[in-house]
Amino acid sequence: MRVSKRVRSRGLPALLVSTALLVGALSVGTVATAAPESGKAPAASGSVHAGHVMAASTRASGDDPDGDGYIPAVPQVTGVTPSDRTPPPAYFHEFQANCSATHTAPDDPIVYPGQPGKSHDHTFMGNRSTNAHSTTGSLYGGATACKAPADASAYWMPSLFKGDQKVLPVGPQVIYYKSGVTDYTSVRPFPKGLRFVVGDPMQTAGEFRAHKGFVEGWECGDSFFNTDIPASCPSRPDVQLNLRMQAPSCWDGKYLDTPDHRSHMAYPVVKPGTNDNMCPASHPVALPMIEFKMAWPVNGDMSQVRLASGRGYSFHYDFFNAWEERTLKALVDHCVVGGLQCDARGYDETHPQKGAVLNADYRLP
């Protein structure tokens, strides 16, 4: 039995976020059973993005056999009302997924599923098997370059070049799992198989700077908040090129993916009359907010440094969830919901009495 794919985007205009397209209000706390499919509207042809059109993938794949780009969650999450509660203050509510780069390839199993060589070059982290044919089933339980063996998720971004030389991040990179909403106690784990794209390779410098996921832009040495890769960086061993970018953390509860790879996700909104963040009614389910914190070993003359997707402001990244469910839930509950600042073991050194989630081998006991 399959879940109906009839819910569609209403084409609301983009706000400041170039990649967040909100769907219409959904009647989506409780888990619903799968409903029989009773018909489908035509799949969206692409996402309009400030004068650009990014093609939607509507090709049959292992997770989307009818190829319309909509992958329903089974079961769906319904009956959720966005939390506007203000819990006890907790400055931190996060844990880290420390994952190393594994390989590069001109593949993208989200945007171009089953089409090897079709995308610009990507640098993959986490799951060691990620390629154009990757599916939830092929990733789940696979070998990983993340410290926690239970994290078989795939993370990728456009490869960085200096001239013709590809430059890879060295060692485990910091991928934060945070609360994006004020009520950090309302955050729940990602559903298995959820995937999305953050940012847009076709965005302009202004759109990149205005993106809700923009944190500090490109930085090196004492240069911060750059929308493009700086022309030069101090030539010192301790200087690297850095970038931080946050993902949307509110889910519609309906789909694991949509044709534009964005519409099922949204950024939190500000509760009227406050400084509190909460999920919008259209995307009421609060999930962890992923934040990439990347570092590339390059400095000095940066005039030849570029991304495979183009200028620095074309930066974007992809996430494909393949965590083992019990481990992800334990980390989310202990660190995010628990209001702690955890490392990859789920340990907060400022609150040692709280203990760690994972053992010395980064596994759930």
Tally of CB atoms within 10 A around 53: 11
Closest CA to 241 of 162, 344, 147: 162
Burial annotation 232-245 (CB, 10 A radius, 16+ → b, else e) = ebeeeeebbbbbbb
The distance from CA 351 to its chain's CA centroid, rounded to whole angstroms, is: 28
Task: Compute the distance between CA of residue 170 and CA of residue 235 in angstroms, rounded to an integer.
Answer: 18
Q: What is the pLDDT of residue 87?
A: 95
Structure token digits, residue 121: 């070059």
Question: What would the pLDDT profile of 191-225 be if each residue is shown by its tens digit?
Answer: 999 999 999 999 999 999 999 999 989 999 999 99
Q: How do the pLDDT tens digits run along the chain, 365 residues long?
A: 344 443 333 333 333 333 333 333 333 333 333 333 333 333 333 433 333 334 555 678 889 999 999 999 999 999 999 999 999 999 999 999 999 999 999 999 999 999 999 999 999 999 999 999 999 999 999 999 999 999 999 999 999 999 999 999 999 999 999 999 999 999 999 999 999 999 999 999 999 999 999 998 999 999 999 999 999 999 999 999 999 999 999 999 999 999 999 999 999 999 999 999 999 999 999 999 999 999 999 999 999 999 999 999 999 999 999 999 999 999 999 999 999 999 999 999 999 999 999 999 999 99
Sequence-separated (6 or more) residues with CB below 8 Å from residue 274? none
Position 260 scores a pLDDT of: 97
Q: To the nearest whole percent, how much of the chain has pLDDT over 90?
A: 82
24-71 pLDDT tens trace: 333 333 333 333 333 333 333 343 333 333 455 567 888 999 999 999
Which residue in 200, 238, 218 sits closest to 302, CA to CA?
A: 218
The SS3 assignment for 333 reads: helix
What string of DSSP letters covers 94-124?
EEEEEE-EEEEES--TTTSTT-TT-SPPEEE
Q: Which residues, other chains included, contact 217 with Cβ-Cβ below 8 Å and sequence gap of 6+?
A: 208, 209, 224, 225, 226, 227, 243
Amino acid at 71: I
Please report the sign of the dihedral spanned by the C-alpha atoms of residue 219, residue 288, residue 263, residue 150: positive
pLDDT in tens, 250-269: 999 999 999 999 999 999 99
Answer for the pair 131, 112: CB distance below 8 angstroms, yes or no.
Answer: no
CA 51 remoteness from chain centre: 24
Task: Let me know how long the chain is.
Answer: 365
